[in-house]
């Protein structure tokens, strides 16, 4: 099984960077916070970029 994307919504400040970088995996919802819409099988390089860009480091990518 591949890696899975996790996101701590308590920490998310809704900046939208993750969605801008990788809309296939991340989406801002009606609460203005990001959620993971594709936890597995998305483009790993873009998930890594989103992790690096997140200002509160609330995204993780684990086996």
**Interface residue list for ligand SF4 (CB under 6 A):** 7, 12-18, 26, 34, 54-56, 58-59
**Choice between 17 and 47, CB closer to ligand SF4:** 17
Contacts of 27 (CB under 8 A, 6+ apart): 19, 34, 35, 37
Q: How far lies 44's CA from each of 22, 26, 30, 37, in Å? A: 10, 13, 26, 14
**Choice between 1 and 59, CB closer to ligand SF4:** 59
Two tokens, residue 53 = 């860009």
Q: How far is the CB of 33 from ligand SF4 (least distance, A)?
A: 6
Q: How far is the CB of 54 from ligand SF4 (least distance, A)?
A: 3
């Amino acid at each position: 099984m591949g890696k899975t994307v996790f996101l701590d919504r308590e920490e998310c400040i809704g900046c939208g960077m993750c969605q801008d970088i990788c809309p296939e995996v991340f989406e801002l919802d009606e609460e203005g916070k990001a959620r993971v819409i594709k936890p597995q099988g998305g483009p790993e390089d873009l998930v890594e970029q989103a992790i690096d860009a997140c200002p509160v480091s609330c995204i993780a990518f684990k086996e």
